[in-house]
Structures are given as C-alpha cells and as structure tokens.
Amino acid sequence: MLVALGAAGLLAWLYLVFFHHRFWRADQRLGPAAALDSWPAVTAIVPARDEAATIAHCVAALAAQDYPGLLRIIIVDDGSTDGTGEMARRVAASAIRRIDVIDGEMLPEGWSGKLWALDRGLRHAAMEAPAPYLWFTDADIAHPPGILRQLVGHAETDRLDLVSQMVKLHCETLWERLLVPAFVFFFQMLYPFPAVNDPRSRVAGAAGGCVLLRSAALERIGGIAAIRGKLIDDCALGTAVKRSGGRIWLGLADESLSLRESAGLADLWRMVTRTAFTQLRYSVLLLIGTMAGLTVTFLLPPLLLVSWPLHQQTLPALMGTLAWGLMAFAYIPTERDYRQPVAASLALPLAAALYAAMTVHSALNHWLGATSRWKDREYQKSHTSQMQG
C-alpha cells in the first residue's frame, strides 16, 4: 500500500514537472514595449469600494503613465463609506490626464459588485467615442509608468484580444511568505500560463488586477453582462474571450504591485474561503477529488519520508523523497520571484495543507448556508450557486 502511494506521488510530480506545460518556470513576462507607429486610445476603468488606504496611490500611478496615445481614466466609487471617492477626486483635480470619478449604482440581483461597477464605468465611457482598448485594474494596485505601453504593444504586435498579468502580491509577514507564493504557484498549476497563451489549447484564464481588453472582443462575448454573476470574474472573462475565438495572454508582473497588506492568517483565510468551493463548482465529487489529489501530491511525499522510522520501508520513503525534491525544485522559481530563500520551497506541503483546510471550510460554509461576504456585501448561497451556473 505504501509503495503504491509513494509511486502515485512520484508519478504526479514527474508529470507536473515534465509534461504540464512547464508551468512552474514562471517565465511568462511582458517584454520591452514595442515601437508602434501610432498608439490606440485606451479607457482605464477602476472599480473602487472602500479603498481609501490605496486609491490615491493607484490613481496617481495611472495618471503618471507615459503612454503616447489618448488615455482616459474612469474611477467608479462603488458605494464607499470611507471617503474613497473624495480622495480620488482630489488626486484627479491635480492630474495632467483626464480622470472622471463617478458614483456607482445600487447593485442589482444577479451581479457581483465588481462587475456591476465595471459595467457602470463602461456605460459612462460609452457617452463618448469608444476607445479600441479597455484597461481594467483594481484600486489597490500601483503600476509602473511604462506598463500600459508594454500591454498595448504586446496586444498590437501579437494581435491579442486580452492581455493580463498577475501583479506582484504583498509578501512581507510570516503568513504571507508561507502562503502568497504558494497561491501564485497553485494558480499557475491550475491555469498553466503557457497553455493559456497557446491559441491551440482550450485552457483559458486571466488575472483581474490588470486586464487589457479589446473593446471589440468584449462586445463579441456580449459585454460584461455575459459574466455578470461570476465571483471568479477574471478567469471567466478570459475563458469567454478565448471561446469566442479571441487570442489571450497571461503572465506575471515584475513591477505592478498590490498595495493590499494581509494582517495575518485570518485575512488570507477569509480571502480563500470566499471562492474556494466556487472554484470547484460546488461539487462534492470535485471536492473529494481535490482533497485526494492534494494529499497524494503534496502531503504524502514528506510524510513517507519523515515516518520512515515507523514503517521502515525504504522504497516508499525513497519515492517520497524524490517526489518532495521535485516539488521543491518546481517551486523554486516562484519562491525566488518573491525573494524567498531556496530552502523555503520545502515548506510547500505545509502551505498545501492550509489551503486544503480553507477549501473544506469554504465547502462547509456553503452547506451551512453561510453567505459569501466581500467588501461588506453578502452574496447568498443560492445567488453564488446561480452565478456559477
């Protein structure tokens, strides 16, 4: 039995390292900005709800873009109660670019808050001549001055309909250092970026913190309303664009930074449990399969090694050692990206165990009828089920 389990774990890592699109290399990055003859107009839309701590930095970074083309910025104050809108207006008043700060509208049934705010921004933008590109970014992200050049240059040069990048997440506290790189690694494993970027592959995804989208592609999929209830809206958008025949690209950011700090494990736990079971489409079978996969792939290899004094079977311990080694090897590029020591890659099984517990907690919340809460909004169990339907 132990031999079979050890073999399963080792085979899993042999597949992941050598045959799963080389996701672990973390090498999908934007290159230098292309030199275009003309730069198309872009409308940036930022949904903001209770982001007083970060909105000024976010808006200032958008206004500082050294983009040669027309850039219009729309901030949607989505019912904030902490002065987010007022702070955004103060920054906008002194900016050299045009920045519209508008109020959101009451959230209708069947919409997630962020997507309804984006739709409000799109309707405001439609009052004037439409821009060829839309740039969706979050209110807690600061972009470097040259990022829009890179995004548009990549889209124009490679004829892409959607270009997105996972911004660099805050990673300073003990719990962030354990869980944030692991989150990025698991995301790459679930949505292998090279496969996402391959038009021949059906794998699709996006990172909602920074999405450049052709207006024509959004119209082709039926607008934001086509994904209006999705809590995992970024991947839903990427999937819709690719299924409509569009070409998409997803990569990792080097300088676009998340300004959101996590106070500790509780904050990270709430963030994951909000959508973990949603990701599994509320399926008991998928939950069981996910837990089994996490156990065999991430937990059993180190357990087979450290428990050798108890079972004293050399072959399972050896296979567990090899699997753990491959796991750590694959994790090193992501750990380095977050400036973590190489030795920290050995702690991935601990992070996996915590994420497994969060996923089970998410499922329990769903079954017990607990609401999914985000930005002081509650989404009822029936509503979130419908959103994924």
The whole-number pLDDT of residue 101 equals 97
- Mean pLDDT, to the nearest integer, of 262-282? 86
The whole-number pLDDT of residue 372 equals 56
The whole-number pLDDT of residue 68 equals 95
The whole-number pLDDT of residue 230 equals 83
| Residue 383 pLDDT greater than 80, yes or no | no
Rounded to whole angstroms, the Cα distance separating 287 from 214 reads 36
Token pair 């470097």 is found at 144
Name the residue type at position 222: G
The whole-number pLDDT of residue 386 equals 31
Beta strands in the chain, from DSSP E residues, in sequence order: 42-48, 71-77, 99-103, 133-137, 141-142, 162-168, 210-214, 248-258, 372-374, 377-379
The whole-number pLDDT of residue 281 equals 84
Tens of pLDDT, residue by residue over 176-219, are 999 999 999 999 999 999 999 999 999 999 999 999 999 999 99
- Mean pLDDT, to the nearest integer, of 327-336? 98
User: What does pLDDT average to over the chain?
Assistant: 93
**Which comes out higher in pLDDT, residue 295 or 383?**
295
Record: fold of 24-262: Spore Coat Polysaccharide Biosynthesis Protein SpsA; Chain A (3.90.550)
Domain boundaries, the chain: 2-22+269-387, 24-262
Kindly indicate the confidence band of residue 78, based on its pLDDT and cuts at 50, 70 and 90: very high
Kindly indicate the confidence band of residue 261, based on its pLDDT and cuts at 50, 70 and 90: confident
The whole-number pLDDT of residue 380 equals 46
CB 349 within 8 A of CB 13: no
Token pair 């489409």 is found at 281
Kindly indicate the confidence band of residue 324, based on its pLDDT and cuts at 50, 70 and 90: very high
